[in-house]
Amino acid sequence: MDLPEGLDWVRGSPAGRTWLAALPTWLNECAERWSLRVGPPFRQAYASLALPAHLPDGTAAVLKLQYPDEESRYEADALAHWDGDAAIRLLAHDPGRRALLLERCQPGTPLHDLPPDRALDVVIGLLPRLWRPAGAPFTPLAQEAAGWIDRMPRAWERAARPYERRLLDAALDLLTGLASSQGEQVLVNQDLHAGNILAADALTADRGPWLAIDPKPLTGEREFSVVPIVRGPELGHSPAAVRHRLHRLSTELGLDPERVRGWTIGHTLAWSLADDTVVPEKIEVVRWLLDAD
């Protein structure tokens, strides 16, 4: 199978190789089950195999076969919960194969193609529609944060201490305090960056023109939901750009800026190491926000 380069990392583990071996069969079975005409994979893929598809009536769709990680386990549930409001609509789901049949955003232009402040206008309009009360089966943010707190020191040691101890200590302290003092719990997405919001002009006017895709859902307070936009390099990677996004999103969405800052530091550092791969850009964001004191 012609896999996107972004999925090369899955070859490095037994679980990944098992998933790769099953993909051709699952792809064929899903195409047959849903009577799909399937095209070659989208090249922008890092945690799933996604392919353009057409339903028998010609409707444009996306067939997505997820890598079986925990963060995306409840993606289908989140999309069903939103039911097409501010997010793409789930058309069908095969839990056993971790396969999702989704609406296709057309033209599918990513939000980061807009000038940064126009992109923030979109986020400010979109997020309140995604903040819906939710419970099971979604993982609580407090539980997820406890996992980060437990794993981060070991990951830091295993990766040969790739950043200063002060960053680790600050992140652990912030996560501990924030997790236990949250406000109202709503459905939040820990990966809503500017590449996961796409133009969808061809869909119903009252839902577009921008829709969220690829959620990694949790239940937590609203302040956490802006973290991926604040830290993401898609709308500019500099101390001034990060602080501007934090200030504008906090102010215009009525969020506590110190809690947004704290969640950004904690979550960004937790995600700065992935299978011993260091992500320097995330570590830079943590330094910029800590050194702003």
C-alpha distance across the termini of the chain, in Å: 50
Q: Using CB atoms within 10 A of its CB, is residue 39 exposed (0-12), middle (13-18) or buried (19+)?
A: exposed
Q: Provide the token pair at 62.
A: 């996306």
Q: Which residues contact 242 (CB under 8 A, 6 or more apart)?
A: 230, 231, 236, 285, 288, 289
Length of the chain: 293
Write the CA distances from 75 to 149, 194, 218, 255, integer angstroms: 24, 18, 10, 25
Query: Going along the chain, which residue ranges are E strands?
Result: 37-38, 48-54, 60-66, 90-94, 99-103, 186-189, 197-199, 210-212, 217-220, 273-274, 277-278
- How many Å is the Cα radius of gyration of the chain? 19
Among left, alpha and beta (phi > 0; psi -120 to 50; other), residue 36 is beta
C-alpha torsion angle, residues 259, 138, 245, 277 (rounded to 10) = 100
Paired with 106 in beta bridges are none
Q: 150 an active-site residue?
A: no
Cα(230)–Cα(124) distance, integer angstroms? 12
Q: Provide the token pair at 161.
A: 């201490």
Catalytic residue among 191, 201, 256, 291: 191
Query: Going along 56-168, which residue ranges are E strands?
Result: 60-66, 90-94, 99-103
Would you name the residues annotated as active-site residues?
191
